Amino acid sequence: MKQRIGIIGCGTMGSAIVSGLLGSRMSRSRLISVFDSVRAKSQILSQKFGVKVTRSNSQLVQEADVIVLAVKPQDLKWLGPEVRRSFKKGAVVISILAGTPLRALRQFLGTRPVLVRAMPNLGAQVGESVTALTGSHRRSLAVAEKIFSGCGKVVYVPERQFDLVTALSGSGPAYFFLLMELLVHIGVRGGLAKTTARLLAVQTALGAAKLAQASSVEPGELRRRVTSKKGTTEAALRYLERKKFPKMFSEAIARAVRRSRQLSEASRSFLRCSNASS
């Protein structure tokens, strides 16, 4: 990519995006600038990757062709007024803010930039994210796809489904971490060394994921194939079914979807209040 890329927010996801861009050779450090209100975070990225640290968000926006917003959703309230007059006409803004629809972004950022909404996940740190994209401008979506393909896989999803995507894949790594955490705990409680229990849990998860990725059959079929009748796996899975684990997990995802919708509604309510006071 020859465009100058700016990253606002140097936390976990902002750092992962920079790492993905450079690790995949999608961009060069001299073309990337970063800014974070916590100056130390910007400096860490600069020292690690050789990227430029700007003096302010406004300077970053003025200089960049593509801007990735990797701040917290609530930060948009002060960020919008700071940068909306600094965008180049037609600059591409890619937002990874959870629960913040394109309409809210437009209200905060003004009419100059072209907007894309993205939902990556923590796998971006190791180049194994899956990122959902939505927007109405084809060329800008292509730019976003290039950026996030450096962090893993990319899919296109209508914005009306972003709350579900947020619950499934945005929050998804935590569900798998929880399962690994429980397996490690059970192993240690049973007498295994923690390093051994961790290796068993993590490598088993990795192997299952790679097998599912490489296979042409659905995960449910893979589960059935590994479940021998009257065996240990069947004993564990039947107990989970009796305890209504599938229903419980479905309800947990529904809670995450509902929370994402609440965040979206909060953004819309703020917009209504802003419009009423203007």
DSSP track, 141-174: HHHHHHHHHTSEEEEE--GGGHHHHIIIIISHHH
pLDDT tier at 272, thresholds 50, 70, 90: low
Q: How far apart are the C-alpha atoms of 131 and 124, rounded to whole Å? A: 9
Q: Which residues of 120-153 are buried (b: 16+ CB within 10 A; e: fewer)?
A: bbbbbbebebbbbbbbeeeebbebbbbbbbbbbb
Domains of the chain (ranges plus CATH)?
Answer: 5-161 (3.40.50.720), 172-253 (1.10.3730.10)
pLDDT tier at 273, thresholds 50, 70, 90: low
Q: What is the pLDDT of residue 271?
A: 56
Q: What is the pLDDT of residue 23?
A: 86
pLDDT tier at 277, thresholds 50, 70, 90: low
Long-range contacts of 225-229 (CB under 8 A, 24+ apart): none
Q: What is the pLDDT of residue 149?
A: 92
pLDDT tier at 125, thresholds 50, 70, 90: confident
pTM score, two decimals?
0.89
Per-residue pLDDT averaged across 30-55, rounded? 95
Q: What is the pLDDT of residue 26?
A: 87
